[in-house]
Amino acid sequence: MSEPVFEITKAAHFDAAHYIEQGPGDHRYRRLHGHSFRVEASVKGVMQPAGWVADLESLDVALKAVATELDHGLLNDRPGLESPTLERICLYFAERLKPQFPGLSRVVLSRPTIGESCALTL
C-alpha cells in the first residue's frame, strides 16, 4: 500500500470593502461596498515524523497574517487586487502561502452571508 496522503484545512475570516468595474456605469458592483469573507487553505501531504502533514497552528498563523492585511481595508488598494473578485483573492492568498506551504492544495474564498464561494485547486 502506498503511503497515505492527507489534506489538512484551516479557515480564517475578514471583512473588507471593494468595487468591481464591470457592468453598466451605474451597476451596483461599481459602487464601494463591503463583504464578510471566509477563507480556507488546505495543505496536502504525507504524515511527517511529528504525526501530522504540517502543524495546523503554523497554517493558522500564516493564513491569519494574510487575512489581517486585507481586514477592514479597501481590497482594490492591494497589489493584484485592482479588480478584487473572489477568484483574484484566491490567487492573492495562494501566492503568499505557497512559499511556506509547498503542499498547498486548495484555497476557498466565500461570502457566507450571500452564499457565494470560489475554490482554487492547485
Ligand X SMILES: Nc1nc2c(c(=O)[nH]1)N=C([C@H](O)[C@H](O)COP(=O)(O)OP(=O)(O)OP(=O)(O)O)CN2
85 binds ligand X (CB under 6 A): yes
Q: Which stretch binds ligand X (CB under 6 A): 7-15, 38-46, 65-73, 82-90?
A: 82-90
Distance CA 72, CA 4 (A): 40
Distance CA 50, CA 110 (A): 32
Q: Between 41 and 89, name the residue whose CB sits nearer to ligand X.
A: 89
Distances (CA, A) of 45 to 56, 73, 85, 121: 13, 34, 29, 15
Q: Between 56 and 91, name the residue whose CB sits nearer to ligand X.
A: 91
Inter-residue contact 108 to 40 (CB < 8 Å): yes
Q: How many residues are listed for the chain in this entry?
A: 122
Q: Which of 11, 17, 20, 56 forms a contact with ligand X (CB under 6 A)?
A: 20
- Per-residue binder mask for ligand X (CB under 6 A), 27-46, x = binder: --x-----------------
The footprint of ligand X (CB under 6 A) covers 20, 29, 85-87, 114, 116
